[in-house]
Structure 1
Amino acid sequence: MNDVMIIGDEGMSDSKFLRGTMILSVSTFLSKFLGMIYIFPFVAMVGQQGLALYQYGYQPYTILLSLATLGVPMAVSKFVSKYNALGDFRTGQRLFRSGLFFMTITGFIAFLLLFFLAPVIAGWIISNPDDLNGNSITDVVFTIRMVSVALLLIPAMSVFRGYFQGFQSMGPTAVSQVVEQIVRIIFILTMAFAILYIWEGELGTAIGFATFGAFIGGLGALAVLLFYWKKRKSLIQKEAEESTADYNITLPSMYKELISYALPLSFVGLAIPLFQMVDLFTFNNALMASDQYSQGEAEIAYGAFAGSAHKLILIPVAVATAMSVTLIPTITNSFTNQDKPLLQRQITQTYQVILFLSIPAAAGLFILAYPTFAVLFGLEDVKIGGYVLRYYAPAAVLFSLFSVTAAILQGINRQRYAVFSLVIGLAIKGVTAYTFLYTMGPIGGSFSTIAGFGAATAFNGWAIGKFAAFQYGKILKRTALIMFFTVCMTAAVLVVKEGALTLFPLTSWRNALFVELFSVIAGAGLYFILSVKSGLAGIVLGERFSILKKPN
């Protein structure tokens, strides 16, 4: 990732641009993947209830961080790139300097809000603690305040990243993202282990210091960004001095343009965190109000739902979206050039990739919920964890479809419809969350999320059909074939799983692993054979996997 920033070089080759984009895509995926898999050893140390406490701190932090940054990296990148192309390097430099100051202020305000509102937020999460086995209000406040410190640092870093990206230099962002995640994870796991097993401390103390890892990870990322800045500062200053134009844009006009770039996409990017925020304030209270769950039991269920199960279903979402979003820039070009046949093919391909990967993955998680949970998180809470995962698994398809349909709407310049769809989805989630949880128990959170994302995704699909004149006939036929193969796969998995359970009952981790391996091999193998033999795999995955095309 040692890419060289070529400042002001309008002749930068496509290969260098594509290389930078690929570096950023790979680093983003790696960062997200690391952010998913560390949860397995973490839960082994702190349990589902500890994970619930961790989520109590991270959910409000995520929302405030997003509001404090408002999509700054993308907006700054677009702004700087635009004016650099016009020969005005001074404007981008002015934005960088003022942006650092502005984002430091917004980060400080966000920190103060989260730090001082921690007792209020804690009261919303656990409004009526009923036993000594649950997390205390004091622990929740401590956890929220520990993670809030990261808001002093992270927002300002987004300006650095966006500025470098504006010069089509993706290396600083890519390296800093990966370093941030690695440092954060090492700190989280080290502190949790040390406090619980070496110093024999309290769970609340361990979780609080674990969330402080967000700040420590931020320090690691900042060190990387400052290294790149020091290395390139003289070149940046030279380009600014040799600018061939100066539009002398006022700061209010500058920020107005930035917000127009960032606001719609930053709001859509908040989709999953906003849905999770609804669960944060309704889950425990609804379950406890039903008189079926104590506070401790409700928190274990919440940890399984918002932490463990959520991380698992994000794995197929990450894989599916990573393979499909590479088509989004070409969709933008086709729409701009009014090449309707090509646009139809590209949208079709995007849908196909998502459905081909996410539907069988969600079905597999649904059928294998209990052994999967047991293998990754242990047997202690497998009963509630497997139950929650089973009914949350279908959301993987909707998460994938929503993110991609929102990106397609961005590509055809209809971002506001993606924002509107999210408002619809959130309204449905907000109205149904408490009632579903109260009447259905922990799986009510899954059904309210599915209802909300289902409505939002359907609206996005309608908008794509209307404004891109997209015809869904071919997609419906391919989806029917994917569903048929998934049903065949599911039947095979059921047979193998039930057979394996007679030999290896879920009484040990080793038995769960055997059941999981046999079932996954049977299901994935059958789905692969059916999709390749039918030619579906080659059609869906295209030239990237030409070996999968059906032979003539």
Structure 2
Amino acid sequence: MSDQQLLRGTMILTASIFISKMLGLIYIFPFTSIVGHQGLALYTYGYTPYTVLLSLATLGVPLAVSKFVSKYNALGDYHTGQRLLKSGLIIMSITGFIAFLALFFSAEMIANRVLDPDSLEGNSVGDAVFTIRMVSVALLVVPVMAIIRGFFQGNQSMGPTAVSQVIEQIIRIAFILVVTYVIMYTLDGELGTAVGFATFGAFAGALGGLAVLLWYWRRRYAGMQKMLEESTVDHKIPLTKMYRELFRYAIPLSFVGLAIPLYQTIDLWTFNPAMRDAGFVQPIAETYYASFTQSTHKLILIPVSIATAMSLTILPTITSAYTNGDTDRLQRTITQTYQIILFLTIPAAAGLMVLSEPAYAALFGLGEVSIGGEMLRTYAPVAVFFAVFAVTASLLQGINQQKFAVIALVAGLLFKVLFNSLFIQWFGPQGGVFATLGGYMLSVTVNVWAIGKYAQFDYSIIFRRLRQIVMYTVIMAAVVLYIAFGLERFFPMDNRWNAGIILGLSIGTGIIIYLNLTVRSGLAGRVLGHRFAVLKK
């Protein structure tokens, strides 16, 4: 495959990931309008353990398969890749089935932990059990689909993965919104029934994605058979040796990728019980939980996903620079990565802080704006640490020091486990945010130290840039806060339209101010000039 075709495939895959993430963000607004925060909390009770068990069932194998197949194809050995796929399908089917059984039969235990069985308000234990068991069925399909995607990517064919991801997400979201609306408003059904069937959308979407992959397989079957015939060598690697190589670098990657789900799992087990101990009744505790783990969480991931996507495009350079001993290029690339992340996420997080109530009201309605705005204001700064942790973990992978990313994550998770309930009892619902912030700060500290030590990276430039970014962000935030306060005199925030007007005008003002300050000072040119040449002028 030519470099141009490979670049095109990578761009298609990146675009599909971005589209899927945006769809995953947008649907939460109408879904919350249909089921409310109580339904959103119930939905999270099922999806959080599902996400963790899905990651454990696959253990990063799809990515590892992609690298493994690509490696042996380059050696002219197409037999090894196909042997890996055939055995992998069996293994993924088994692990998926085990994960399904584990989640299905632990549903009652999880439900009794997160909810008070004696409470007559809020979600019932029975509804939570039903929701968890409905989403567990998807574990029978998704691991199989994941390894097929890895095989196609290993053959430098990104289209099947890209198309199947988008189709899977579209079917899942359409199923969720249509089914919940019909059950709630057409059939006048119960909330627990609607949310339970909504989580079943994961299975419906997975079937759609798998159908797309099988269609591509049928179209490409003749070509793959021809590749086998043209294979110049067959290493005949034993399966035990093959999987030993796969898991050696797959497990650290999958563990780091589990960071946010693992943090949310700790909240699943401890947030509601700690809130009850702090004197909150179950419906209020569930509203705070839904706001923390779903609605505000989705909002703070917007700047994280954009910043990470922009920085990850230069991360492949890290590996080649480190491997070839090109110290200057390594230092420049790490510097650029840090600068992009901080340049984008710090002002975005500050904007979410000062516009927390208009943002929450415009996107999720006025019903729980006091709770949602309060949580968003506290949670927004964590976005910076989410982004920095993800990127520094990738940087450590590029310099073959991914073990420190794992150590950092374990340290952060231990902090979260030890202090989550305690902080909630001390500070109320914001204590869960503080525990997450503390855990991520600890993890980022470890990663930053490891990069400085093993890449011999000098942080003096980053500290100078950080001071500038913070200074301009404070100026921008102060003006935006004043503008929003003034707009509220003309557009009282008693409906979503007015909240949307305040939010839109304030965001526009903030962008103009921040760009004006950073462009005129030359900061934008130094950070983004390699992407937007006009900023250097």
Aligned to 2:11: 22
Aligned to 2:330: 343
Which letter maps to 2:173?
I
* 1:425 equivalent in alignment to 2:433: no
Three-state SS of the structure 2 residue aligned to 1:262 is helix
Q: 2:221 aligns with which of 209, 216, 233?
A: 233
Whole-angstrom distance in 1 between the partners of 2:482 and 2:299 = 23
How many residue pairs match? The answer is: 537
Which letter maps to 1:52?
A
Aligned to 1:119: 108
Aligned to 1:4: none
Aligned to 2:151: 163
Aligned to 1:98: 87
Q: Is the 8 A contact 1:130 1:295 kept in 2?
A: no
* 1:46 equivalent in alignment to 2:35: yes
Q: Is the 8 A contact 1:129 1:295 kept in 2?
A: no
Whole-angstrom distance in 1 between the partners of 2:502 and 2:231 = 65
Aligned to 1:147: 135
Deviations 1:515-541 (A, max 9, x none): 212221221110011111111112111
Whole-angstrom distance in 1 between the partners of 2:228 and 2:396 = 35
Moved more, 533-542 or 272-281: 533-542
Three-state SS of the structure 2 residue aligned to 1:64 is helix
* 1:359 equivalent in alignment to 2:350: no
Deviations 1:106-125 (A, max 9, x none): 10010011001110111121
Whole-angstrom distance in 1 between the partners of 2:209 and 2:96 = 16
Whole-angstrom distance in 1 between the partners of 2:298 and 2:144 = 28
Which letter maps to 1:47?
G
Moved more, 313-322 or 521-530: 521-530
Whole-angstrom distance in 1 between the partners of 2:378 and 2:76 = 55
Aligned to 1:256: 244
Moved more, 378-387 or 511-520: 511-520
Within 5 A, what are the aligned runs for 1:397-416?
397-416=384-403
Q: CA offset at residue 278 of structure 1?
A: 0.5
Aligned to 1:72: 61
Aligned to 2:364: 377
Deviations 1:68-92 (A, max 9, x none): 0111221000111111111111111
Whole-angstrom distance in 1 between the partners of 2:244 and 2:350 = 45
Give the unaligned 5+ runs of structure 2: none
Q: 2:125 aligns with which of 133, 137, 153?
A: 137
Q: CA RMSD in A?
A: 0.9
Which letter maps to 1:65?
L
Q: Is the 8 A contact 1:334 1:343 kept in 2?
A: yes
Whole-angstrom distance in 1 between the partners of 2:99 and 2:188 = 33
Q: CA offset at residue 218 of structure 1?
A: 0.3
Which letter maps to 1:498?
F
* Percent of aligned positions that are identical: 59
Q: CA offset at residue 502 of structure 1?
A: 2.1
Within 5 A, what are the aligned runs for 1:152-191?
152-191=140-179
Q: CA offset at residue 548 of structure 1?
A: 2.0
Q: CA offset at residue 26 of structure 1?
A: 1.1
Whole-angstrom distance in 2 between the partners of 1:231 and 1:415 = 38
TM-score (norm: length of structure 2): 0.99
Q: 1:299 aligns with which of 277, 283, 286?
A: 286
* 1:265 equivalent in alignment to 2:272: no
Three-state SS of the structure 2 residue aligned to 1:280 is helix
Q: 1:82 aligns with which of 64, 71, 75?
A: 71
Whole-angstrom distance in 2 between the partners of 1:323 and 1:36 = 19
Give the unaligned 5+ runs of structure 1: 1-11
Aligned to 1:6: none
Whole-angstrom distance in 2 between the partners of 1:308 and 1:129 = 26
Q: CA offset at residue 242 of structure 1?
A: 2.6
Aligned to 2:22: 33
Q: CA offset at residue 133 of structure 1?
A: 2.3
Q: Is the 8 A contact 1:90 1:241 kept in 2?
A: no
Q: 1:387 aligns with which of 374, 390, 396?
A: 374
Which letter maps to 1:123?
N
* 1:245 equivalent in alignment to 2:209: no
Three-state SS of the structure 2 residue aligned to 1:249 is coil
Whole-angstrom distance in 1 between the partners of 2:119 and 2:146 = 42
